[in-house]
Amino acid sequence: MDRTTAASANEFDAKEDAARRLVQRLLLDPESLHDELLSTGEEATPGPWGKALRALVERLSRLEQLERDFDRVLLSEKLDSMRELAYGASHEINNPLANISSRAQTLLRDETDPERRRKLATINSQAFRAHEMIADMMLFAKPPDLVRENVNLPELIAQVLEELSDQADEQGTALIVTGTGSDCWLSADATHLSVALRALCRNSLEAIGAGGQVTISLVANDDVVELSVIDTGPGISQEVRRHLFDPFYSGREAGRGLGFGLSKCWRIVELHGGTIEVGGDDGEQTRFTIRLPRLIEQMANTSPPLVA
């Protein structure tokens, strides 16, 4: 092969590599490519191919933006539908439930037969359960405003685990805590945050069923608190994961109860400006990780010294 042929081959390979890299960027990161093309000017990509490339990049960038807008609008519409449903259910269903519960309690007060008392108590408890489900819908669709205060996470974790200790003992599941040896303060709504953590821990206990362990891990730096709940349950399949925080989806047939608990958790974390991620597949440990901003600047004048 002479020098001219070799140079042509090298030039062809270089162009092929450049084209391959361009296609990869076009598919993986069209927005940055779009910005780069705008900054370099028309002369950087002359001719019809350059114009076609710019048009294609602009179309892909607009498509990505439309997808993000669609997800945001879809979530807003879902919450609006939930809100309307919750309002209607609160009015139309809570009144009959209150009547059922009141009559059951009245009959229970004068009943002496043990079997009848058991049945009346069941009616009353189920009426309260239905009422709590409606309240959960309201919390998800239209949660109350956050009442922020200085919350010491290790203390909050200890309180939640104390409430769940009887259930854990009954099924022989160990509750383990790591990373809570020192104070960890943040600005948050303590009541809401307790509901979120309790929902994650109960979900893990239900998934395990018997034996195993649930580990609550706390890691913090100056800006972010990371709270994880890891369980030795059956894991979460990809099918279930797609519906993980949907309020009307239940994964109990897959070995993990979902429903309103995780939906409330997601909503509360979102209200605090945080994120929640899920790791683990079928047959593996499942890890729910909540990341919350410390909002240190809001606490500097009112809270004790921060210790991560």
| CATH number for the domain that contains residue 262 | 3.30.565.10
Per the CB < 8 A criterion, the answer to whether 201 and 156 are in contact is no
- Tell me which of 107 and 259 has the higher pLDDT: 107
Highest mean pLDDT among 164-173, 242-251, 276-285: 164-173
Cα separation, 242 vs 231, whole angstroms: 19
User: Do 167 and 295 share a domain, yes or no?
Assistant: yes
Per the CB < 8 A criterion, the answer to whether 183 and 152 are in contact is yes
User: Do 33 and 171 share a domain, yes or no?
Assistant: no
Label residue 17 by pLDDT band (50, 70, 90).
low
Residue-wise pLDDT tens digits, 157-178: 999 999 999 999 999 999 999 9
DSSP lists the bridge partners of residue 288 as 229, 278
Domain with 118, as residue range(s), is 93-141
- pLDDT score, position 255: 45
- pLDDT score, position 281: 59
- Tell me which of 155 and 296 has the higher pLDDT: 155
User: Do 127 and 155 share a domain, yes or no?
Assistant: no
User: Do 48 and 136 share a domain, yes or no?
Assistant: no
Query: 86 in a domain, yes or no?
Result: no
Highest mean pLDDT among 46-55, 130-139, 268-277, 295-304: 268-277
User: Do 41 and 168 share a domain, yes or no?
Assistant: no
Cα separation, 258 vs 247, whole angstroms: 8
User: Do 193 and 211 share a domain, yes or no?
Assistant: yes
Query: 97 in a domain, yes or no?
Result: yes
Question: For residue 12, is pLDDT > 90?
Answer: no
User: Do 114 and 27 share a domain, yes or no?
Assistant: no
- Tell me which of 89 and 249 has the higher pLDDT: 89
Q: What is the mean pLDDT of the chain?
A: 76
- Tell me which of 130 and 84 has the higher pLDDT: 130
Question: For residue 45, is pLDDT > 60?
Answer: no
Residue-wise pLDDT tens digits, 181-234: 778 888 999 999 998 999 899 988 988 888 889 999 999 888 899 999 999 888
**Predicted TM-score (pTM) of this structure:** 0.61
Q: How many alpha carbons fall within 13 Å on the CB side of residue 91? A: 5
User: Do 249 and 274 share a domain, yes or no?
Assistant: yes
- Tell me which of 174 and 302 has the higher pLDDT: 174
User: Do 47 and 165 share a domain, yes or no?
Assistant: no
Query: 87 in a domain, yes or no?
Result: no
User: Do 121 and 220 share a domain, yes or no?
Assistant: no
Query: 78 in a domain, yes or no?
Result: no
Domain count, the chain: 3
Provide the terminal-to-terminal Cα distance of the chain, rounded to the nearest Å: 67
